[in-house]
């Protein structure tokens, strides 16, 4: 795995100093070894906070909204992200490199604190807090591996297919790793989730951090990749614990004023809305696509106003008659566009359970779950008493996931997971009128990320995904 450039330079400087004979036995006073950096429980907590700071989910939101079919170039676009929108996607593309680096940075940060934890002397009275910190670290490491697994794996259901690289400890600059298999990656993620379950304090319920509830939701997400019915139980446990938000609560949730159904939120102090706007002028260089807007308008529920800006704030209002659909998902409360990211909600658990039920022959129960979400949002979309076929169910559930989870980092991955049913990425022709591409069929290699070119260049043990040149 390619090392972070800053880390590489630090290691190189350390090597040069160590090569000087008169300095061999000297420990510099400013050397940040684990023994010096982590001396107390408070240091471990600070380290954990740094790991959360490495959870950069904005890249996922940007990619899933623009590369798939939820976005189109905005009226202020001057070329921003056009290559991504036009599916110019290669091993050297910025998005694939950024996603790889972001999640290995998260994993590496977690590993550093995990490896330092045994060096800290802990009073018996603090063991619950110590374990709670460790449990969160293992959960975040599992998240990093899981997100990489979703993007870089060609076939989730083939245990011998290649996934990403498992990183169980802090690598050194000379390490060379091959990619692990789907089975190896799945087992590693499951082991980290099991450790997190054992260690996180059940009484710890702050949803700005990883809790037992988030770990249960993560188990459900992992099961969804392969249609594994084992994910129904953790999803059900969360559904029984968290109520769906009312329409008013739903509006308040995206104004950071209500947490009724939020299982985990990422605290942000920077402008998430800057993914689509010049935040100094509120000019949109990307907007909601016509196809998403049409689906939202057809449902005619609270999610239309949450996702589309009809007000006068942040550059609004939208003007659908003139093909202007401004994104409103992260409007900001006190500061424009600065919003917390609702990284996991109970509505997602309903839709995970619906998909798993459908894929395991429970078509009537799957319809019940979709109907529950639509009723809570005040949707005008009618759900049948029972779906006639699995494909009908998956198509309708994916539509509901589109409305419920728009701009939350799911759309591309949903279309990839169910590409054989949905046909790939199919955009509304109006959204492609300026020259963009409209169809990416289910056999297109770009429905899986390429291994970044920088990794291929630096790691002779790596294997590239099919369809991408080495």
Give 353-367 pLDDT, tens digit per residue: 999 999 999 999 999
pLDDT of residue 8: 37
List, in sequence order, the alpha helices (H) in 231-325. 232-241, 247-253, 290-299, 302-307
Please report the pLDDT score of residue 445 as a whole number.
Answer: 97
- Asked if pLDDT for residue 34 goes beyond 70, the answer is no
pLDDT at position 144 is 98
Q: What pLDDT sits at residue 35? A: 54
Q: Considering only the C-alpha atoms of the chain, give the largest distance between any 2 of them, rounded to a whole number of Å.
A: 80
Band (15; pLDDT cuts 50, 70, 90) = very low
170 lies in some domain: yes
Residue 362 belongs to a domain = no
Look at residue 16 in the predicted model and tell me its pLDDT.
32
Is 419 a residue whose pLDDT tops 80?
A: yes
Residue 11 lies in a domain: yes
The pLDDT tens digits of the residues spanning 138-169 come to: 999 999 999 999 999 999 999 999 999 999 99
Indicate whether 159 belongs to any domain: yes
| Nearest residue to 293 via CA among 437, 419, 407 | 407
At 10 the pLDDT is 36
The answer to the question of residue 12 being in a domain is yes
Tokens at residue 48, please? 């954990």
pLDDT in tens, 262-300: 999 999 989 999 999 999 999 999 999 999 999 999 999
Segment 360-376 mean pLDDT: 98
Helix extents (H) in 257-362:
290-299, 302-307, 346-359
pLDDT tens-digit map of 433-450:
766 689 999 999 999 999
* pLDDT at residue 334 in the model: 86
Confidence (pLDDT) at 128: 98
What backbone phi and psi angles, to 5 degrees, belong to 342? Answer: -80, 90
- Return the pLDDT at 20: 40
- pLDDT score, position 12: 35
Residue 292 · residue 406 · CB < 8 Å: yes
Cα angle, residue 77 at apex, residues 331 and 91 outer, rounded to 5°: 95
pLDDT at 171: 78
Which secondary structure element, helix H or strand E, spans residue 191, and what is its range? helix 182-199
Q: The domain containing residue 22 runs over which residues?
A: 1-204+432-470
Comparing 216-225, 306-315, 425-434, the range with the smallest average pLDDT is: 425-434
The tally of domains found in the chain comes to 1
Domain of 161, CATH number, reads 1.25.40.390
Average pLDDT score over residue span 68-91: 95
Find tokens 């790991």 and name the residue.
Answer: 51
CA–CA gap between residue 51 and residue 136 (Å, rounded): 10
Does 423 reside within a domain? no
CA angle 115, 116, 118 (to 5 degrees): 90
Q: Which H or E run contains 58? A: helix 58-66
| pLDDT mean over 39-61 | 96
List CB contacts of 268: < 8 A, sequence separation 6 or more. 338, 339, 340, 341
For residues 103 and 57, what is the distance between their CA atoms, to the nearest angstrom?
9
- The answer on pLDDT for 385 being more than 50 is yes
Report the percentage of the chain scoring pLDDT > 70: 91
Residue 429 CB neighbours (<10 A): 12
Determine the pLDDT at residue 29.
Answer: 44
Q: Average per-residue pLDDT in the chain?
A: 91
Per-residue confidence band for 333, with pLDDT thresholds at 50, 70 and 90: confident
Q: pLDDT band at 251, cuts 50/70/90?
A: very high
**In 156-227, which ranges are continuous DSSP H helix?**
182-199, 212-226
Residue 108 lies in a domain: yes
Residue 19 lies in a domain: yes
Band of pLDDT at residue 174, cut at 50, 70 and 90: low
Give the pLDDT confidence score for residue 435 in this predicted structure: 66
> Has residue 94 got a pLDDT over 50?
yes
Bridging pattern class, strands 277-278 and 439-441: unpaired
Give me the pLDDT at residue 24, please.
33
Q: Are 409 and 279 in contact (CB under 8 A)?
A: no
Asked which of 36-40, 111-115, 248-252 is least confident by mean pLDDT, the reply is: 36-40
- Report how far residue 373's alpha carbon sits from residue 352's, in angstroms, rounded to the nearest whole number: 12
């Amino acid at each position: 795995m390619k090392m972070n450039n800053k880390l590489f330079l630090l290691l190189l400087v350390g090597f040069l100093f160590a090569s000087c004979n008169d300095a061999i036995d000297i420990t510099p006073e400013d050397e940040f070894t684990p023994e010096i950096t982590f001396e107390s429980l408070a240091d471990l907590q600070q380290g954990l906070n740094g790991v959360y700071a490495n959870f950069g989910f904005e890249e996922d939101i940007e990619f899933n909204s623009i590369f798939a079919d939820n976005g189109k170039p905005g009226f202020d676009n001057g070329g921003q992200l056009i290559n991504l929108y036009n599916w110019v996607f290669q091993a050297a593309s910025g998005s694939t490199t950024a996603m790889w680096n972001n999640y290995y940075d998260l994993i590496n940060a977690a590993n550093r604190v995990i490896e330092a934890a045994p060096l800290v002397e802990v009073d018996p009275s603090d063991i619950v807090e110590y374990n709670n910190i460790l449990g969160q670290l293992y959960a975040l490491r599992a998240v990093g591996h899981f997100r990489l697994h979703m993007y870089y794996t060609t076939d989730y259901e083939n245990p011998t297919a290649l996934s990403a690289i498992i990183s169980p400890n802090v690598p050194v600059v000379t390490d060379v790793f091959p990619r692990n298999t789907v089975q190896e990656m799945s087992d590693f993620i499951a082991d980290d989730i099991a450790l997190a379950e054992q260690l996180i304090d059940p009484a710890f319920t702050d949803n700005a951090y990883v809790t037992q509830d988030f770990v249960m939701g993560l188990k459900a997400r992992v099961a969804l990749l392969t249609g594994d019915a084992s994910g129904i139980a953790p999803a059900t446990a969360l559904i029984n614990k968290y109520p769906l938000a009312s329409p008013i609560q739903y509006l308040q949730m995206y104004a950071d004023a209500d947490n009724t159904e939020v299982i985990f939120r990422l605290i942000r102090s920077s402008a998430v809305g800057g993914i689509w706007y010049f935040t100094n002028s509120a000019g949109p260089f990307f907007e909601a696509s016509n196809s998403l807007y049409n689906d939202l308008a057809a449902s005619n529920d609270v999610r239309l106003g949450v996702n589309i800006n009809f007000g006068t704030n942040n550059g609004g209002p939208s003007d659908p008659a003139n093909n202007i659909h401004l994104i409103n998902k992260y409007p900001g409360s006190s500061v424009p566009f600065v919003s917390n990211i609702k990284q996991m909600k109970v509505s997602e658990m309903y839709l995970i359970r619906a998909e798993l039920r459908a894929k395991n022959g429970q078509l009537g129960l799957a319809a019940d779950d979709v109907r529950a979400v639509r009723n809570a949002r005040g949707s005008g979309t009618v759900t049948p008493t029972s779906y006639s076929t699995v494909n009908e169910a998956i198509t309708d559930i994916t539509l509901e996931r589109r409305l419920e989870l728009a701009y939350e980092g799911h759309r591309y991955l949903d279309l990839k997971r169910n590409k054989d049913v949905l046909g790939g990425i199919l955009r509304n022709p109006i959204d492609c009128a300026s020259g963009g591409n409209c169809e990416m069929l289910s056999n297109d290699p770009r429905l899986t990320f390429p291994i970044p070119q920088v990794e291929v260049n630096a790691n002779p043990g790596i294997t590239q995904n099919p369809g991408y040149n080495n």
